[in-house]
Amino acid sequence: MTRTPEDRPSGRRPRRRTATTGALVAVTALLAVGVQSATAAARPDSDTPARSRAQAPSKAGAYAKPDPGALPAKLSPAQRAELIREADATKAETADSLGLGAKEKLVVRDVVRNADGATHTRYERTYDGLPVLGGDLVVHETKAGEIEDVTQSTKSRMSMADTTPAVPADTARAKALTTAKAQAEEAPRKATAEKAPRKVVWAADGTPVLAWETVIGGLQRDGTPSRLHVITDAETGRVLYTYQAVRNGTGSSQYSGQVTLGTARSGSTYQLNDTGRGGHRTYDLNQRTSGTGTLFTDADDVWGSGSTSSRQTAGVDAHYGAALTWDYYKNVHGRSGIRGDGVGAYSRVHYGNNYVNAFWDDSCFCMTYGDGSGNAKPLTSIDVAAHEMTHGVTSATAGLIYSGESGGLNEATSDIFAATVEFYAANASDVGDYLVGEKININGNGTPLRYMDKPSKDGASKDSWYSGVGGVDVHYSSGVANHFFYLLSEGSGAKEINGVRYDSPTSDGLPVSGIGRANAEKIWFKALTERFRSSTNYAAARTGTLQAAADLFGQGSATYNAVANAWAAVNVGSRVTDGAGVFEATDDVAIPDAGAAVTSSLTVNRAGSAPATLGVEVDIVHTYRGDLVIDLIAPDGTAYRLKNSSSNDSADNVQESYTVDASSETASGSWKLQVQDVYAQDTGYVNSWKLTF
């Protein structure tokens, strides 16, 4: 029932002025490269998810097991393919429900289904047939197929007069080559444009613009192949953004001891061909830097010698690490292969000469490993394989751009799952730890390359967030997320794990309690595959992991609060204050033009009745706010009118605070903000709303 009847105006309302559509328009985009301010790291309660399970909080220090319904279902490649086909068949309908313009289309990229039947469909966006870089979004639906909320970067409808560039493609190519050489990312003699620039819409940097994307090949400073993407404004020729598509990392060498390998027999010989894991093959590049190499074969299926005297040894370690990583993602997270399609990647060892690194390359769907200094220590251990394959998982899911804060999150994701795979392997010769590269001694002093408990111990990585962290090399800005994951898993302070001593500080000097690695890894994976987008920064990563924790453990639970506190310990957001009584939903909800009412939900875990002075703070972005009717819906379905429509209110946006007598309501439960646009022509979205008890 409704407390206040709607006062719907009668007659024709005044004609309004409309904006001319001569350029692309966007309300906001979330690519943050060193732009996150202290105020942008919102309070923990400001990230209350729009959808969370009503689960009672655990007692302090007692962390519950995750809700099995919220965990990803273990899909076969055929089941995943069917979900993608279903999403593809209804993508036009989905675009309409999201309020996209006539020239905007959706392209299905991936579908994740939870055990309870809820789905999370990841889309790329196009405008007039052009790819929209930074326009990716994830639509979250219930088992019944109802859209609950949408995670997106560019929220507004796009329009432009035409897509004819003022700057020709050849000019963009020349600018990209000059940029690559100036950045010293390429050896000048090797820098080449791999193919003609493609026309795109760049929407990840604030206001979408028509642009050229040029991919520059060649070599990076350390000999790693390069595929540097240069985004050039098609109207002015100005370089808007650059990012590297070849991701690299390091880890320990051949210390796995005697292992079991997945091989296949071909005639009278055996191959490093793991038919049980998507046909993953391992090749010998024979010190070359291009091509696939020669598939490893053996007469008796007994491989390597444990030392570099046998070329097979590096292949054994790489092949074994790939198998462990495959098993980890399948058994822990229900993902069959890097892309979820059951297809194996492949590995190449003995790359170049004295190459002290390893890298993942999407274009070949493969991992490549150097032999280290003096070709004496191949970088082929468990954590290296897991690190590189995880770059592939990230590319197939969130697609985190390998630059700025999103690049740090990309690199950290690989470090995080390198650690969890190493623990999962339970290999006595290479025990699980929170160190990166602890056995290859690249530094020459026996120290690891990176430390997750205190990243700054390597001399360059960052322990906590600050406004300029997006300008740091991604291998070092990753320290913020690495530190967060360690604190979330193990807690702060001194401790010893598997014989390794750690002592993790916090940015605010306050202690943090860990929830256990098993819970932390599920939260990070769920956030990566369901909430993160290409331009996710640290503030948005916090929101995504809080949403994941809410789904798995309940919003307001001890585990949920621990996630907020672990982020606060690395200076992203604030700590949870018990009894604050403030609950906020921040996921955007599109409001269809002259369409059905939409709702944004939040779950309140609070004993007793709601107050007679319940505070409701609303932030809605919408032109001509007189179009809107807004209600607060209590857990029992009672509607409290906050705002009526008005044909005379032509101002933009609803940013208001209301007081509601909700003393007859139980505080605990799912509260909703219901919004309906009752007139045509103007659109918008619910940005956030808050309840204060």
The 3-state DSSP class for residue 360 equals strand
What whole-number distance in Å separates Cα of residue 628 and Cα of residue 655? 12
Helix (H, G, I), strand (E, B) or coil at 332: helix
Q: What one-character DSSP code corresponds to residue 197? A: -
Q: Parallel, antiparallel, or unpaired for β 198-202 and 130-141?
A: parallel
Nearest of 105, 130, 298 to residue 200 by alpha carbon: 130
| Distances, alpha carbon 136 to alpha carbons 33, 396, 533, 598, in Å | 18, 13, 7, 22
Q: Which has the closest alpha carbon to 175: 231, 226, 219, 220?
A: 231
Neighbours of 498 (CB within 10 A): 11
List beta partners, residue 621.
Answer: 685
Q: Give the 3-state secondary structure of residue 181.
A: helix
Structure-token pair, residue 377:
């220590």
The DSSP symbol for 616 reads E
Which of 113, 539, 62 lies closest to 340 in space, CA to CA?
Answer: 113
Name the catalytic one among 104, 186, 213, 388.
388
- DSSP assignment of 443-460 equals TSSS--SEESSSGGGGSS
Whole-angstrom distance, CA of residue 676 vs CA of residue 178: 51
Q: Write out the two tokens for 448.
A: 């690891």
DSSP codes joined into one string, 521-573:
HHHHHHHHHHT--TT--HHHHHHHHHHHHHHHH-TTSHHHHHHHHHHHTTTSS
Rounded Cα distance between 210 and 203, Å, is 9
DSSP state of 117: S
- Cα separation, 584 vs 597, in Å, equals 20
DSSP state, residue 156: S
Q: What angle do CA 614, 550, 342 make, to 5 degrees?
A: 150
How much helix, strand and coil, in percent to the nearest 5, is found in the chain? 25, 25, 50
- Amino acid at site 10: S
Alpha-carbon dihedral sign for residues 528, 531, 537, 539: negative
> Length of the chain, please?
693
Instruction: Supply 354's token pair.
Output: 């004295």
Q: Annotated catalytic, 475?
A: yes
Cα distance between residue 683 and residue 158, in whole Å: 12
Going 173 to 179 to 183 to 184, the CA torsion angle's sign is positive
Q: Which amino acid is at 66?
A: P
Query: Helix H segments across 90-217?
Result: 91-97, 169-182
The continuous run of DSSP H or E covering 490 comes out as helix 479-490
* Nearest in space to 628 (alpha carbons), one of 572, 676, 562, 693: 676
| Residue 388 annotated to the active site | yes
Helix (H, G, I), strand (E, B) or coil at 385: helix
**Distance (Å, whole) CA 187 – CA 364:** 22
The catalytic residue among 280, 333, 391, 475 is: 475
SS3 393: helix
Residue with tokens 């692309």: 24
Measured between alpha carbons, how far is 139 from 654 in angstroms, rounded to an integer? 25
Catalytic residues: 388, 475
